[in-house]
Structure 1
Amino acid sequence: MKTYDDEEHPIMSQLKSWFKQKSVDELSDIILNYIGESADEQSRWQLAMLNDQGGLSGGEIKKMITKALPKKQAWSYAEVRAYFHHSENMFVDIFMAIEQLPIDKQWQLTLHALVRLNTVLEQIDDSGGYRFDLEGQLNQRLSSLFNQQTWSDDEKAQWIFEHYKEYKYDVFPSVPEDFELTESVQCIFVALCQAEAEKRHKQGLDLSIWKEKYAFERLLEPQIEQAKNNNDLPAQCHLMAMSAYDERDHLKIAQLCLDHNELLDAEYWLKKAYNAVKKEANKISCQKFEVELRLALKEYQQAWQLAWQLFSQTPSFSGYKALITLEQKTGVIDDKCKEKAEHIFTQCYAENSYGNIVREADALLSFYLYHQQVAQARLWVKSHKAEPSKLIKLADLIVGEHPQEAIDLYARVVLPTISQSNNQAYQQATDLLLSLENKLQGEDAEALQVMINQVIKLHKAKRNMMKLLKTHFPACF
């Protein structure tokens, strides 16, 4: 029985002393009056009474589970929270009642409660996750009871298989991971998956249908995992190929072979990937993999040519850095790479119909910053737009020698940020101004105040922004 320390729970201790002075009839009246105001409390005390009197039958417990998880619609957070608060309170006594029954009955009732939970969730929007505690308890209890069953290994494997090959419930333990299968049950389970996979393969599959492909891949997963544990690469490849449909599937097999240094096999699956390409744009993923394969085969010239082709087709600064990395691995193959890349980047700049730059339009600025060509970067940003982070990076590089330019670059970021009109943007803009202030001194700091005055003039209607500026830059007001 729980006891209460006088110092930690003075009110409870006082009540305890007061209750001791009451007769049995008086205490009964107090309790009955209290629980009479709540149907939930009545159900809980009824459960406690029946448990104390020797336990409940399976049928009675099922009725209590229904009371604990009634079918009703609940959409608001408050409604759902109250619903599962009631359920959790009821299940404290339900679990006690279940534990007094034989293992097979415990299993049946726990499974019944999980199925019931899935049913009621069809009409309850539990976006807040209020069911998670109850769900976790039911899942853990079902998993724990599984290996306590007196079923044969075949029966256990069959049950796992039936609940693995298709999702019966949204809320359920992970199958088979959460059930700690014995080696014997695991072997039978894998054999069942293999038999079903072979059956579906013989019947004919349309792997272009996502659901059909996914269901088939799920049957293959335990077999692939078994082959992996046995270090059987050919079996892994064969199983993965059974569900291969497009270039992505074949490239996964090629990558597996490359990871195991089986380069000729990797080349074989790469060819399969090229042949499986459905759209020309998807060919790029094959080409990227081929660069890595040519590198592994020490075919450096071919690797470089293909990498340069990829870069030329879809120029990006990340692609340029990949070329630099490739140069470091293979040695310099094209001594004019930098010059040609710069020329390509000069043609990348473009703006969309809203006046915003398109993806990789400012790659040339990234190129100049990477190679520390600050003069070229300064000249470029004067007539081009760029991502805010790159403008700030350039500003921080030149703030010492060209403070006014740095201030102007910060302004190009701060003003649009404030225009987003939310408190997070206001704080971000203020942080940028404070960062710049720390980098300026003397007359340069005065130039910053001029810029802040411009901000105030343009955005004085944004009161929360003005509060931040008054706090950190009071001299501007």
Structure 2
Amino acid sequence: MSADDHSPKTPSQTAVTDAASLKKQLTKALPCNKHLHSAVQVQGYFGKAAQTIDLLQASAPSLPVEKILTLVDYAIKRLDKALRTIDDSGGYRFPIENTLKAMHIKCAGALPWEKSKLAKYLLDKMFGDDSDFYPEIPEDYAGALGSSGSDLFYLQLEKHWQSLPPYPVDGEWSEQYPYFRVQHVLAPYYKAKGEHDKLILMHHKTARTFADFERLCELCIELGELTQAEFWLNKLRRDDSDCDNSNPRILEIEVSLCVKQEQFNKALEGQWRLYCCEPTEYKMEVLLAIARRLEQYDAVRAKLQAYLEGMLSSPQNEGFTPKYSDALAGFYLYHERPEQALLVAQENRLTVSLLLKVARNNTQQPIAILPLFIRVAESVIGDKKKSSYKSAVKILEECAGFMHNLAHKAEYKKQLAVFRQTHKAKRNLMMYLDASSKIKALVA
């Protein structure tokens, strides 16, 4: 390897030309079974080890690349074993780990090996016990492998996948992990190559649970393999424990498939059922997008508004608020009708995040939104933590920024006084309020 490949030597990095000596120094620098837990101990351990890793890096130009590669592999193995009894939650190993990774990539690029040998070597490292300490394989070795080497690597990986026995459903994680490790690398390769059948078969090999087949069905839809998607969807229906076609996840997949098949009327019907079960903004957006494809946007929007207003006003749904009040306020905000969202917020309970969103969308009505900000602050201080008190004060400070004239300021001062009286026993909250220059300037 050329000297240009590495950092300049310092006086403490005198090159060593004896590989055996370097290996001994690495063994001494990365002792195992140390059982270190304090930050001071761990920092000291890796601080000393770094000196030897720097020496290894400085010695690289003076040794054959294959010997340096062997030493880097050895250092990674020692690092892996050492960390089994060291608590490095502070990340003191990272400078060493990053140096070894960089050296390994450079070594791989300088090896005088056939591409097939390099591919086999990297495949072995990918499945080694210390694989977490290597760069991403094969992505980070694209330069070393080249186009032909990458093809050989994936070919060998594909053969390895095909040689794996049936997926051990009840096996330990250590038995199942190799399957997912291969999938993680092969899946994007198959997708990029357009080899959809191989990609689907690969996921089928490890699919055992209901959730697995859900993902397999969604994958088929994503790839445009709609016949296969229909096949797996029918399996989901057969395996569904509810047996009444009410499973929301199955219904979501049916809607996605119908959209892909351009069966928009059926998709609209399914999405409406999903929205009625859980009236979220995302489900509303999907519903309206389907309606637009059918040129029924205005009709569906009106139907949504009527449905939400009816559900919110129905006495039998009182226990479900803020489910419907959130949905209706969100509906109005989505359609740029903030004043109506404000009316919903004034008359109903909303989740804190939506309550704040409504307030921020109605800043042209300072006195009307003041109670909303107070409600948000009341909710934030509920867990009685200092950080929550600080957050509540920030909310009140934000609200103060919207009070511009004397009437606004008088109302703010009045409602703040009630707030303070209610929470006067919370000394830390009172202290943070007293320390707020923005609030003091407004109520002075």
TM-score calculated relative to the size of structure 2: 0.79
Counterparts in 2 of 1:291 and 1:433: CA distance versus 1, 3 Å: same
Counterparts in 2 of 1:215 and 1:278: CA distance versus 1, 3 Å: farther
Q: Distance in 2 between matches of 1:299 and 1:190?
A: 39
Is 1:73 the counterpart of 2:40? The answer is no
CA apart distance, 1:446: 0.8
Q: Distance in 2 between matches of 1:375 and 1:219?
A: 53
Is 1:466 the counterpart of 2:433? The answer is yes
Counterparts in 2 of 1:152 and 1:279: CA distance versus 1, 3 Å: farther
Is 1:158 the counterpart of 2:124? The answer is no
Cα contact 1:426–1:465 (8 A) shared by 2 = yes
Pairing 1:58-69 to 2, within 5 Å after superposition: 58-69=19-30
Give the ranges of 4+ consecutive aligned residues of structure 1 lying more than 6 Å apart after TM superposition.
Answer: 44-47, 278-282, 357-361
The match for 1:456 among 401, 420, 423 is 420
Q: Greater relative contact order: 1 or 2 (C-alpha under 8 angstroms, separation 6 or more)?
A: 2
Q: Distance in 2 between matches of 1:80 and 1:128?
A: 8
The match for 1:338 among 305, 309, 327 is 305
Equivalent position of 1:176 in the other structure: 138
CA apart distance, 1:117: 1.1
Q: Distance in 2 between matches of 1:337 and 1:453?
A: 41
Counterparts in 2 of 1:222 and 1:424: CA distance versus 1, 3 Å: closer
CA apart distance, 1:113: 1.0
Counterparts in 2 of 1:434 and 1:121: CA distance versus 1, 3 Å: same
Equivalent position of 1:430 in the other structure: 393
Pairing 1:13-162 to 2, within 5 Å after superposition: 48=14, 51=15, 55-71=16-32, 72-162=34-124
CA apart distance, 1:221: 5.2
Equivalent position of 1:34 in the other structure: none
CA apart distance, 1:279: 7.3
Counterparts in 2 of 1:461 and 1:476: CA distance versus 1, 3 Å: farther
Q: Distance in 1 between matches of 2:377 and 2:413?
A: 14
Equivalent position of 2:264 in the other structure: 300
Q: Distance in 1 between matches of 2:435 and 2:418?
A: 15
CA apart distance, 1:423: 5.1
Q: Distance in 2 between matches of 1:58 and 1:228?
A: 43
Counterparts in 2 of 1:345 and 1:206: CA distance versus 1, 3 Å: farther
Cα contact 2:330–2:354 (8 A) shared by 1 = yes
Equivalent position of 1:350 in the other structure: 319
* Counterpart residue type for residue 30 of structure 2: L
Counterparts in 2 of 1:452 and 1:408: CA distance versus 1, 3 Å: same
CA apart distance, 1:191: 3.6
Q: Distance in 2 between matches of 1:186 and 1:464?
A: 64
Partner of 1:308, secondary structure, is helix
Partner of 1:362, secondary structure, is helix
Aligned length: 420
Structure 1, 432-441 or 125-134: larger mean CA deviation: 432-441
Is 1:378 the counterpart of 2:343? The answer is yes
Partner of 1:271, secondary structure, is helix
After superposition, what is the alpha-carbon deviation per residue over 1:300-337, rounded to whole angstroms, capped at 9, x for unaligned? 22111111222223343432343223222223276644
Q: Distance in 2 between matches of 1:439 and 1:220?
A: 54
Equivalent position of 2:193 in the other structure: 230
Q: Distance in 2 between matches of 1:147 and 1:394?
A: 58
Partner of 2:87, secondary structure, is coil
After superposition, what is the alpha-carbon deviation per residue over 1:330-360, rounded to whole angstroms, capped at 9, x for unaligned? 2327664432343345565538xxxxx7767
Q: Distance in 2 between matches of 1:320 and 1:328?
A: 12
* Counterpart residue type for residue 427 of structure 2: A
Counterparts in 2 of 1:373 and 1:84: CA distance versus 1, 3 Å: closer
* Counterpart residue type for residue 175 of structure 1: I
Structure 1, 101-110 or 462-471: larger mean CA deviation: 462-471
* Counterpart residue type for residue 95 of structure 1: Q
Q: Distance in 2 between matches of 1:279 and 1:208?
A: 25
Partner of 2:427, secondary structure, is coil
Cα contact 1:88–1:134 (8 A) shared by 2 = yes
CA apart distance, 1:115: 0.9
Equivalent position of 1:444 in the other structure: 408
Q: Distance in 1 between matches of 2:66 and 2:362?
A: 76
Structure 1, 297-306 or 462-471: larger mean CA deviation: 462-471
Q: Distance in 2 between matches of 1:128 and 1:109?
A: 26
Q: Distance in 1 between matches of 2:55 and 2:264?
A: 71
Highest CA radius of gyration, 1 or 2?
1
CA apart distance, 1:167: 4.2
The match for 1:271 among 227, 234, 241 is 234
* Counterpart residue type for residue 215 of structure 1: P
After superposition, what is the alpha-carbon deviation per residue over 1:6-43, rounded to whole angstroms, capped at 9, x for unaligned? xxxxxxxxxxxxxxxxxxxxxxxxxxxxxxxxxxxxxx
CA apart distance, 1:448: 0.7
* Counterpart residue type for residue 350 of structure 1: G
* Counterpart residue type for residue 461 of structure 1: R
Partner of 1:350, secondary structure, is helix
Is 1:285 the counterpart of 2:252? The answer is no
Partner of 2:62, secondary structure, is coil
TM-score calculated relative to the size of structure 1: 0.74
Q: Distance in 1 between matches of 2:382 and 2:222?
A: 49
Cα contact 1:342–1:364 (8 A) shared by 2 = yes
Partner of 2:397, secondary structure, is helix
Cα contact 2:210–2:236 (8 A) shared by 1 = yes
